[in-house]
Amino acid sequence: IKEGMPVYGSCAGMILLADRIVDGAVGQETFGGIDMTVRRNAFGRQVDSFESDLNFDGNSMHAVFIRAPWVEELSNSVQILSEVVAADGKAHPVAVRQGSLFATSFHPELTTDLRVHRYFFDQVCAGAIK
């Protein structure tokens, strides 16, 4: 990761790519790399898991959130690709990118929509993510 290898992390992968965690387990560490603070289980516990439509990189798509994190804080070097308005009435980033690192708090692999994975693949192939 530190050498620039492209990495995509979904849900727990977003937590692992975050530089900082809120509500992490005692002693929980991350690989880091994205200059953001992520809140674990931000939308609630397992029973609070949900599905929602959202705008990803300019396109509407359906997303599955399971005990999902959200981005609590991020630096100007982190690009927001999607946000969700939560029960607290605030928009929270749920898809972000910084350099060669890409993360979502939702699970695109649980749908038949390949656009999130295609986005990462296309960015790597275009050299936008090196």
Q: How far apart are CA 68 and CA 97, in angstroms?
A: 17
- The ranges of the chain with pLDDT < 50 are none
Taking only the tens place, the pLDDT of each residue in 73-98 is 999 999 999 999 888 889 999 999 99
Q: Which residue among the candidates 3, 11, 92, 117 is catalytic per the annotation?
A: 11
pTM score over 0.75:
yes
Q: How far apart are CA 17 and CA 28, in angstroms?
A: 13
Q: How far apart are CA 113 and CA 126, in angstroms?
A: 21
Q: Which residue among the candidates 62, 72, 73, 107 is catalytic per the annotation?
A: 107
**Is 107 one of the annotated active-site residues of the chain?**
yes
**Among 36, 16, 22, 17, CA closest to 79:** 36
**Is 125 one of the annotated active-site residues of the chain?**
no
**Is 3 one of the annotated active-site residues of the chain?**
no
Taking only the tens place, the pLDDT of each residue in 17-29 is 999 999 888 888 8
